[in-house]
Amino acid sequence: MSTKTSKRLKEVYENAKKITFDNSDKFILFSDCHRGDGSWADDFAHNENVFFHALNYYNDKEFTYIEVGDGDELWENSQFDDVKEAHSHIFWILSEFYKQGRLYLIWGNHNSRWRNPTECQKNLFQYYDERDHTYKPLFQDIKVYEGLQLQYLETDHTIFLVHGHQANFINDVTWRFVRFFVRNFWRFLQLCGVKDPTSPAKNFKKRNKIEKKLKKWVIENKQMLIAGHTHRSVYPVPGKAPYFNTGSCVHPRCIVGIEINNGLITLVKWYVNVKQANDDGTLFIDKKN
């Protein structure tokens, strides 16, 4: 692993906000929603109903929601208002978590604008209600983090949460160039079926290289880590490096995430269960551990 990657991850870890928890606390982690503008290029659009149902479930069960980066697709979309308008019901349920102190956001390479407090204040603190013609609170005074530490009080061990693009030079250092390419060229090529060559989610060799770096950092630092970025869910078997990955919310037929409940970590999948469809065409959203 390069020294730069090791230093970047260590820097994020040492500056990460620490959240303590015990067996009574419950967390749901999703990443890589890539919420877009609702157009044909919006990869999130086909799963938004599944995602909304899942968040309603977790809100009712009083889970804390942590979004591990790339929640909003701000490479393809320069105007965040378009994203908020296209997925207003998603932001409504997120605001319900936030009102109750149960929402944490981590920024990734595709929404690194949120590293800037001024951008957060301008775009995330409030929204414009067209019915009342007034601004209303959304995530008032929110801070979006590059990393978080979950400290388990039973053992004092910590879980490091980070998007994971820090192990990818192109997406971490040269992201402005890549964003220009995606916004001005690839977004239109995507409609023709062309795959993004800069994305580890579409490039197996790049994905494996990034995961290898993250696992090596975990081993060298003896630190459990949960990331996103690669879009491939990972749940290590006993004896392997404690590197987990949430997967993504833009899979063709499902969303995948990680639950932490009663001190246990579970990989979960939410999907439309076509086998339970009624004769009248009613579809059911189901969860599988």
- Give residue 143's pLDDT: 97
pTM of this structure: 0.89
Measured distance CA(201)–CA(248) in Å, rounded? 9
pLDDT tens across 109-143, in order? 999 999 999 999 999 999 887 778 888 899 999 99
Percent of the chain with pLDDT over 90: 71
The amino acid at 12: V
The band of 270, judged by pLDDT with boundaries at 50, 70 and 90, is: very high
Least confident of 63-77, 125-139, 245-259: 125-139
The band of 40, judged by pLDDT with boundaries at 50, 70 and 90, is: confident
Question: Does residue 186 carry a pLDDT above 90?
Answer: no
HSE, side-chain direction, 13 A CA sphere, residue 169: 5
C-alpha separations of 34 from 96, 160, 165 in Å: 20, 22, 15
The SS3 assignment for 82 reads helix
97 and 64 in contact (C-beta within 8 Å)?
yes
Question: Does residue 193 carry a pLDDT above 60?
Answer: no
Domains and CATH numbers, the chain: 3-288 (3.60.21)
Mean pLDDT of the region 203-215: 87
Q: What angle do CA 152, 141, 71 make, to 5 degrees?
A: 65
Measured distance CA(102)–CA(58) in Å, rounded? 10
The amino acid at 46: H
Q: For the chain, what is the mean pLDDT? A: 88
Strands 17-21 and 243-245: unpaired
Q: Which two tokens stand for residue 96?
A: 């319900």
The band of 33, judged by pLDDT with boundaries at 50, 70 and 90, is: very high
What is the per-residue DSSP string for 180-223? Answer: HHIIIIIHHHHTTT---TT-TTS-HHHHHHHHHHHHHHHHHHT-
145 and 162 in contact (C-beta within 8 Å)?
no
